[in-house]
Amino acid sequence: MRVFVAGLITACCVSAAADDGTFESGGALLNYLTGAGVDAELRGWYSGYAFGFIVGIADAQDGLRNPSTGYCFDKPLGLTRGQVVNVVRTYLEQHAESRQLSAESLVQAALDKAYPCTR
């Protein structure tokens, strides 16, 4: 729980620029989830950060269409936070060509593909 809270707080407060000037890139988010290229002593922290980042976006934008991208998703009842994170991780692993894009847009894309809006 502490890792999740630390990740959520960090996701809200820390600013790190990706190549395109966004908050984080999809590649960085995947590295945080997998521990790739991350100091072994900080893997839990980065994993919690990524978890909080993904869950925060999923909770904040559930059922809302992004006017910039058109992405929209409806999380089904009973969906766990772990399932949400796994959907995003799988999407990032399968779309290497897009990992330089913003992590936020890729989280939305993954959830849009898995749980498209029904409204």
- Note the pLDDT tens digit of each residue in 12-60: 444 333 444 456 899 999 999 999 999 999 999 999 999 999 999 999 9
Domain CATH for 70: 1.10.890.40
- Residue 119 falls within a domain, yes or no? no
- Residue 74 falls within a domain, yes or no? yes
Q: Left (φ > 0), alpha (ψ -120 to 50) or beta: where does 75 sit?
A: beta
Give me the residues paired with residue 25 across strands: 102
Cβ atoms of 100 and 25 within 8 Å: the answer is yes
Q: How buried is residue 1: exposed, middle or buried, by Cβ count under 10 Å (0-12/13-18/19+)?
A: exposed
Cβ atoms of 71 and 65 within 8 Å: the answer is yes
Total domains present in the chain: 1
Q: Quick: pLDDT tens for 49-91.
A: 999 999 999 999 999 999 988 999 999 999 999 999 999 999 9
How far, in Å, CA of 104 to CA of 19, rounded? 14
Token duo for residue 17 = 């620029």
